[in-house]
Amino acid sequence: MKKLAEVTYQGIEENEKYEKIIDKVYETCFKEEDLYNYKIYISIILSSEKYIQEINSEYRKIDKVTDVLSFPMFEKDEIQEAKENEEVLGDVIVCISKVEEQAKEYGHSFEREFAYMLIHGFYHLMGYDHIEEEDKKEMRAKEENILKKLDLERK
């Protein structure tokens, strides 16, 4: 399997299970968005609450823990250009304890919640957002499509 993500850990233990989920999710995302055959990848940071709160405070001026943050390297219309080089598409930071908490809160598996955070971060890197209702519908449809392909839709 092609390596599509570079995973680092900040304040939590390394975990092979997380990396297997990341590989499966991003293989599906990259194939769906016709990125699989290019030399681009995503930088993933799996973090503690303390680390993600620091980043959220520094970059978004919101001093609280969040579940996922995304930092794209390209604008939506520049992604085609990124395909031509070996480039990082951007950074996705996921707070593992928030994934665990939200999985329980929403009544689904850790894998489903973690996959959703990874997919959500991926589509932010691809230039999608959910500020305007029309954009939110487009982004949600893409996320749900990937979850369906992974057999992880809401039950």
Q: Domain residue spans in the chain?
A: 5-149
Percent of the chain with pLDDT strictly greater than 70: 98
**By three-state DSSP, how is residue 51 classified?**
helix
Using the predicted structure, report yes or no on whether residue 135 has a pLDDT greater than 90: no
Instruction: Give the model confidence (pLDDT) of 39-78 as tens digits.
Output: 889 999 999 999 999 999 999 999 999 999 999 998 888 8
CB 144 within 8 A of CB 128: no
Burial (Cβ within 10 Å: 0-12, 13-18, ≥19) of residue 89:
buried
Higher-confidence position of 2 and 129: 129
- What would you measure as the largest C-alpha separation in the chain, in angstroms? 42
Reply yes or no on domain 5-149 having CATH 3.40.390.30: yes
Interval 13-39 mean pLDDT: 95
Using the predicted structure, report yes or no on whether residue 83 has a pLDDT greater than 90: no
Q: What is the pLDDT of residue 79?
A: 81
Q: What is the pLDDT of residue 1?
A: 66
Using the predicted structure, report yes or no on whether residue 89 has a pLDDT greater than 80: yes
